[in-house]
Amino acid sequence: MENSLLSLIVWLPVLAGGALLFLDPARVGLARSFALLTALLAFALTLVAVAGFDAGTSAMQFEQKVVWIAAFDIHYHLGVDGLSLPLIALTALTTLLVVIAGFGIEDRPGQYLGAFLILSGLMSGMFAALDAMLFYVFFEAMLVPMFLIIGIWGGPNRIFATIKFFLFTFFGSVFMLVALIWLYLESGSFAVADLHAAPLSLNAQIWVFLAFLIAFAVKVPMWPVHTWLPDAHVEAPTGGSVVLAAVMLKIGGYGLVRYSLPIAPDGAAALDWLVIGLSLVAIVYIGFVALAQTDMKKLIAYSSISHMGFVTLGLFLVFAIVRNTGVTDGAVLGMSGAMVQMISHGFISGAMFLAVGVLYDRVHSREISAYGGVANTMPWFAMFAVFFFMANSGLPGTSGFVGEFMVILAAFKANVWFAVAAAMTLILGASYSLWLVKRVFYGEVANDNVASLSDLNAREWTVMVVLALFTLGLGLWPYPLIEMMEPSVAHLVDHVTTSKIP
């Protein structure tokens, strides 16, 4: 089966981004329109894929398979199912918005936009890879553009932040590499489908699971390996924060779904208490940490960690539910909820970082205390921002509600206390989100900086409207997304509840 649509989605931005790096620095306008055109085209291509996607099957679609490294039977093998396609679409959409928002960058704009395009291609490739080695190559390669984006265009403490980001992620992923090589030597293949099918002893599964967990837990990030994220978010330029929050964190969740759970299901079952425990710590403890932040970007970063806790919780509820109820119905709900939460968090966290970026561009401060009464001078902006922060706290009718609700429902089937702890987020999330809204947007105009603010320009309008529509759309009518994922999620639940021990 040959279908190069996915290759196009992956390589078009990479090649165009590569070309942008070498564009004459003086031709800013050309760089912008070229980047915009590429991002639009890439997004349009993902829409073609979404339109042509058959939601009735859990099989891989749009597959392409070419021999890459013959000596080790490694293939350039791409394909999508209901789990990866929404994330690829999210990647393309986020990139498009980041490119639009990045028009304001003055320092080396061509290279800035080029780096984001390359990054987006690599991320799409990572989601679409069906060969573990290909996946690993994309997984690591995307560190390079992000490292440069934070390091070149970041804030004052960017060098510490970017090196920490790079080394944390790199450190996590090398254990996955060892595990993948070990799996290859055991099963004789790097193909994801073969790895899913390969029988493994419980002991081996536990080790493999732990090796994968280190890699993906850093990426998600889960408590206690989350400390790189607040640093990276604070120092990254707005676009970098958006991509980090909206897409890069999802890579951890996707890795758990595509690799950890199906390759080592018994290992995951044996260690689900660990992941659930860490998720609940993230949801509750990190929620409190977010409450204490004085820096807006840091607050959103901690909120992201807390919300990603829902994703990991939803994914690993399956074993407890099966133990508890004997059926897998609730498990599908939890896992779908986790996937919806990933997409929804992509919209909302991206939008919140863009909103902070709008303020930062005008006042050059991220401190909450530097603002107050912004709604008086920027009413339109305040409307959008308040909407996104509301969505972040899980307001029904927005996408933030859907995923959390599904996961909490599933948690009840597993263990009431899980659900109680997870539901804490409804209070905590509302607290830190709304308290921030109160301090920044409402009240008297705090100072001259705020008094002289001008409302959104056309570019910012575009970005905000698009994200608001998606957040609202997914909140009011999540069915198409859930339907698209349903067969893949059901198949995954079936797979992970079947023992692989020979």
Partner 1 sequence: MTAAELYLALPEIFIATMACVVLLADLYVTEKRRGLIHSLALFALVFAAILTGRDLVPAGQTLMAFSDTFVRDRFGDVLKLFAYITLAGVFVYAKHFLRSAGLFKGEFYALGLFALLGVMIMVSAGSMLTVYLGLEMLALTSYALVAIDRESARGSEAGMKYFILGSLASGILLYGISLVYGATGTLQLGAIADGMGNGLGDNLMLSFGLAFIVVGIAFKLGAVPFHMWLPDVYQGAPAAVTLLIASLPKLGYLALAIRLLHDGLGSLHADWQAMLSVLAALSMVLGNVVAIAQSNLKRMLAYSTISHVGFILLGVLAGSAAGFAAAMFYTIVYALMSAGAFAVMILLSANGVEAENLDDFKGLSQRSPWYALMMLMILFSLAGIPVFVGFFAKWQVIAAAIDAGFLWLAILAVITAVIGAFYYLRVVKLMYFDAPENNAPISAPTDFRAVLTVNGLAMLGLGVFSGGLIGVCVQAFS
Residues forming the site for partner 1 (CB under 8 A) = 21-22, 67-72, 74, 133, 136-138, 140-141, 143-144, 147-148, 151-152, 158-159, 162-163, 166-167, 170-171, 174-175, 177-178, 181-182, 184-185
Helix (H), strand (E) at residue 67? strand 61-69
Indicate the residue among 179 and 406 with the shorter CB distance to partner 1.
Answer: 179
Angle between helices 458-476 and 329-363 (to 10 degrees): 160
Indicate the residue among 70 and 458 with the shorter CB distance to partner 1.
Answer: 70
Spatial distance between the Cα atoms of 410 and 276, rounded to a whole number of angstroms: 13
**Least spacing, CB of residue 87 vs partner 1, in Å:** 20
Token pair in block for residue 417: 């206390």
**Least spacing, CB of residue 471 vs partner 1, in Å:** 35
Within 10 angstroms of residue 469's Cβ, the number of other Cβ atoms is 11
Spatial distance between the Cα atoms of 343 and 481, rounded to a whole number of angstroms: 9
**Least spacing, CB of residue 218 vs partner 1, in Å:** 12
**Least spacing, CB of residue 229 vs partner 1, in Å:** 18
109 preceded by a cis bond (ω within 30 of 0): no
From the centroid of its chain, how far is CA 146?
Answer: 14
For residue 168, give every residue at least 6 positions away whose Cβ sits within 8 Å of its Cβ, in sequence order, or none: 218, 225, 227, 228
Token pair in block for residue 379: 């009413």
Indicate the residue among 71 and 458 with the shorter CB distance to partner 1.
Answer: 71
Spatial distance between the Cα atoms of 230 and 492, rounded to a whole number of angstroms: 32
Spatial distance between the Cα atoms of 450 and 376, rounded to a whole number of angstroms: 9
Token pair in block for residue 136: 């690993």
Indicate the residue among 1 and 70 with the shorter CB distance to partner 1.
Answer: 70
Indicate the residue among 184 and 389 with the shorter CB distance to partner 1.
Answer: 184
**Least spacing, CB of residue 216 vs partner 1, in Å:** 16
**Least spacing, CB of residue 264 vs partner 1, in Å:** 17
β-bridge partners, 74: 69
Indicate the residue among 127 and 418 with the shorter CB distance to partner 1.
Answer: 127
Which backbone phi and psi does 154 adopt, to 5 degrees? -80, -175
β-bridge partners, 75: 67
**Least spacing, CB of residue 338 vs partner 1, in Å:** 28
Indicate the residue among 22 and 380 with the shorter CB distance to partner 1.
Answer: 22
Q: Give the side-chain half-sphere CA count within 13 A for 392.
A: 37
**Least spacing, CB of residue 138 vs partner 1, in Å:** 8
